[in-house]
A and B are shown apart, each in its own frame.
Chain A
Amino acid sequence: MTETLKPDNAAQLREAILWAVDSATPLELMGAGSKRRLGKPVQAEMRLSTAGLDGILFYEPEELVLSARAGTSLAVIEQALAEKRQMLAFEPPDYGALLGAAPGQASLGGVIAANLSGSRRFRAGAARDHLLGFQAVNGRGELIKSGGRVMKNVSGYDLCKLMAGSYGTLAALSELTVKVLPVPEVTAALVIDDISPDDAVRAMNLAAGSAADIGGACWLPEAVAERAALGRPAGEGGPALVIRLEGFAPSVASRLQSLAALLGAAGPARTLKDEAARALWAEINHVTLLSAGPGRVLWCLSLPPASGAEVAGALAALPDHELMLDQAGGLIWLSLPEGGNDQAETVRAALAPCGGHAALIAAPASLRSTVPVFHPQPQPLRALSRRVKESFDPHRILNPGRMYGGV
């Protein structure tokens, strides 16, 4: 069995990486390990977990800032924030169930390293937009930092952006400082039943481009809508469009009205309030509505939102598919039976007319090692990405190959 090193502090983390450099031992980097099955499998003789780097360093609600060691459990952080009625506005989704791990395991470092964000992404930004500063050990075994603890955080290159979404291929994060925001006073969801994908995308465009300031918009085809907590009798209602509104009570009430008027042509609308709206959104955000698990794979496509219906239409040709549109049409979740490179090419070809990228989020290791998990990059971008990798990890010991060959 592969050994796992679990340093307790940044000094030990450094020591471990220096050893790996000296002995040319590639490391598989992880936080709590909840997303080990995301990305290409890493061929490494040793694992390095930052789960031992635990604890909130400071939390100042009035400054909207929290700092924690990378291994701190996300659940612990969310609990501390909830006590002050604050939250991570990028809504980190929990892919535990999708990836065959227990839910609730994620660490802050892992969420940031994978740049995971939820349904509010198009309005509130991604994890990358909320990372203010970090400390990490690069592949030379050096402790580095960038950013700060203030909202306008950057002097020099914004390395926070590079860290977010680098899947541990550049440096092992040890400390993170993130921006936090108030929890909305109320949450509501407007539901329009029986709506085609074309009408739904038109409605989402209209809503997202309106002053209603929506905080989520999602289209569920009939089979998926059947499983969702939409508060309707089984077997009735067809495909559903749901739009989330959040904020102060008088504001949400007023926006619900104007939004329903704006979307009048799309069909009669009904409203889910508070707990009902939040429960529905948890299902959407954590992607628990699509078939996953043995025999199935899950793709995630990012695309220009107005093209949502067109791309969904192209993907509908794939046998035994299930999908849903999130982020006002800008994100498609797609569940398919296990397939190989042909499937990857078909999925990615659907994006060719409009642009965007597709990642294979959940799949068995055998597939993830043969199919390009992340969208292939053209030259000279590919070469540049390699040079960026090299600038942090010249010996290629940190999660080699997890994102791309050479990266």
Chain B
Amino acid sequence: MPAPHQDVLARRAEIVRQLSRIVPAGVIDSEAGMRPYESDGLTAYRQLPLVVVLPETRDQVQRILAYCHQEKIRVVPRGAGTSLSGGALPLEDGVLLSMAKFNRVLEIDYDNRCAVVQPGVTNLAISHAVDAEGFYYAPDPSSQIACTIGGNVAENAGGVHCLKYGLTTNNLLGLEVVLITGEVIRLGGKHLDSEGYDLLGLMTGSEGLLGVVTEICVRILRKPETARAVLLGFQTSRAGGETVAAIIADGIIPGGMEMMDRPAIRAAEDFVHADYPLDVEALLIVELDGPAAEVDYLLEKVEHIARDHGADYVRVSRSEDERQLFWAGRKAAFPAVGRISPDYYCMDGTIPRRRLPDVLAGMQEMSEHYQLGLANVFHAGDGNLHPLILYDTNKPGDLDKAEAFGADILKLCVEVGGVLTGEHGVGVEKRDLMPEMFNETDLAQQGAVKCAFDPDNLLNPGKMLPELARCGELRGMHVRGGKLPFPDIPRF
């Protein structure tokens, strides 16, 4: 992480006093009080913040940021702290800005099919708020009961229905953002597409580095008339992967398509008792949604395709309860793995789907090399892998091995044409792997965008981007004087 500013540490008492003026009952500065904020979902990293502040109004956020901007104090925004990439990891010299008190649903507009909410509202609470009218908010991260929509925007969170319904970025209409200067911008609204640059799209997934989101307008959708899921068991992951490809090649875009490998199936089954088959190497959950006529028609097609590709276990959900049970196992896969291993490290790479067998084989070799167990859950529809590396913090060297193992997996993902993260973000965790994907120029461009928003690098520094060039240095890099004749370029 960036070296702490000693002068800021020295001014701590004064900073606490100033923040208390802005948010009289919302500043925590005792060690015990700050302890719960010392890490997020990536618990291997811990750091107490300088101070925690919990504003309740946009005006307070504006004043906090303006103050920090003026005093050159770093700020780390935080939602529910479930980030798995260390995105909300505090800084020793940074104010931890918790958005937890921004927890109101402000408006539900069924005619325009949208809801305006504050960033601290949980993902699931949005769906709950519109449930009675038969609507829902589509992106459904497994952490949806806890994670906030503000955190979802910052991480561009996904879920198990992304192939058909998109990620967070495809389900937002508007944002209100406070810049580090304390200025407020409004992007989008209840209408589609922006009038200028798509800064709404840029903000989404920006991991708290560009601004603090204070209000969000999300799209809500009518719940499908019917949804049914089918469990498909295979003796090889290759057969499972080929089935996924064949389903898509047949023109079917299922609502959800998830795959688990043998260790993940067993862990989930022991935990949730979803009645998963235990004698298969790969289990696919395919969900079809829409009118009953469509669901029945497609289920039959999918079953057919699966059998043609070697499925030896096929079970269609016969009731809503059974469908929910199929998903309960998958959605509890992380905690389930947590029960069979003292610790686990959840990775989040994305690969072109057809490379799945190669990547699984590669990971198996790594698992043997590092002598660490591995369980795999996979958003098969969109190529997003979540390998869970099993380790034990109490065993000396285990954590280091797990991290090296994880880095090797992500490098493999990039090597086969994928990317470092599907939905958990880069954060602290994958920051130093960014050069695996991007060269210096690519990263300098990313840094230049950061400069357009936050030239002093005060918002969530040390996350996502490796060392930044100083903002002033980005101009006029290539001016070389003399003219270039470009003799080879055709002209007309």
Q: Which residues of A are in contact with B by a Cβ distance under 8 Å? A: 3-8, 12, 15-16, 18-19, 21-23, 52, 60-65, 85, 115, 117, 121-122, 125-126, 128-129, 138, 140-146, 148-162, 164-166, 170, 181-183, 185, 205, 208-211, 213, 247-248, 250-251, 253-255, 258, 302-306, 327, 330-331, 354-357, 359, 374-375, 377, 380-381, 384-385, 387-392, 394-395, 403-404, 407
Residues of the A chain whose Cβ atoms lie less than 8 Å from the Cβ of B453:
384, 387
Q: Which of B459-475 contact A (CB under 8 A)?
A: 464-465, 474-475
- Contact, CB under 8 Å: B350 / A150: yes
The count of chain B contact residues (Cβ–Cβ below 8 Å) is 111
- Contact, CB under 8 Å: B478 / A149: no
Q: Which of B52-60, B90-98, B221-229, B303-311 contacts A (4 or more CB under 8 A)?
A: B221-229
Interface string of B185-227 (1 = CB under 8 A from A): 1110111111111111110111000100000000000111100
Knowing that A22-B482, A128-B198, A210-B222 are A-B contacts, what are 4 other residue pairs whose CB atoms are under 8 Å apart, sorted by A's residue number? A52-B490, A151-B383, A152-B162, A303-B191
Contact of A251 among B185, B290, B442 (CB under 8 A): B290
CB distance from A74 to the nearest CB of B (A): 20
Cα–Cα distance between A151 and B290 once the two chains are bound (Å): 22
Is B331 in contact with chain A by the CB < 8 A criterion? no
- Contact, CB under 8 Å: A148 / B419: yes
- Contact, CB under 8 Å: B484 / A18: yes
Residues of the A chain whose Cβ atoms lie less than 8 Å from the Cβ of B223:
211
Name the 9 nearest CB pairs between A and B, nearest first. Answer: A161-B201, A251-B294, A182-B251, A306-B111, A357-B195, A304-B190, A151-B382, A375-B195, A152-B422
Q: Which of B262-317 contact A (CB under 8 A)?
A: 290-294, 296-298
Cα–Cα distance between A284 and B291 once the two chains are bound (Å): 27
Residues of the B chain whose Cβ atoms lie less than 8 Å from the Cβ of A146:
442, 445-446
Residues of the B chain whose Cβ atoms lie less than 8 Å from the Cβ of A128:
193, 198, 201
CB distance from B440 to the nearest CB of A (A): 10
Is B318 in contact with chain A by the CB < 8 A criterion? no
- Contact, CB under 8 Å: A151 / B162: yes
- Contact, CB under 8 Å: A152 / B249: no
CB distance from B109 to the nearest CB of A (A): 7
Is B354 in contact with chain A by the CB < 8 A criterion? yes
- Contact, CB under 8 Å: B434 / A156: yes
Which residue of chain B lies nearest to A13 when distances are taken between CB atoms in the complex? B489
- Contact, CB under 8 Å: A385 / B445: no
Q: A16-B489, A122-B192, A250-B297 are in contact. Are A162 and B185 (CB under 8 A)?
A: no
Q: A140-B477, A356-B189, A394-B476 are in contact. Are A156 and B426 (CB under 8 A)?
A: yes
CB distance from B167 to the nearest CB of A (A): 7
CB distance from A84 to the nearest CB of B (A): 8
Contact of A377 among B135, B195, B475 (CB under 8 A): B195
Residues of the A chain whose Cβ atoms lie less than 8 Å from the Cβ of B249:
61-62
- Contact, CB under 8 Å: B483 / A15: no
Cα–Cα distance between A142 and B439 once the two chains are bound (Å): 11
Q: Which of B147-199 contact A (CB under 8 A)?
A: 156, 158, 162-163, 166-167, 169-170, 179, 181, 183-187, 189-199
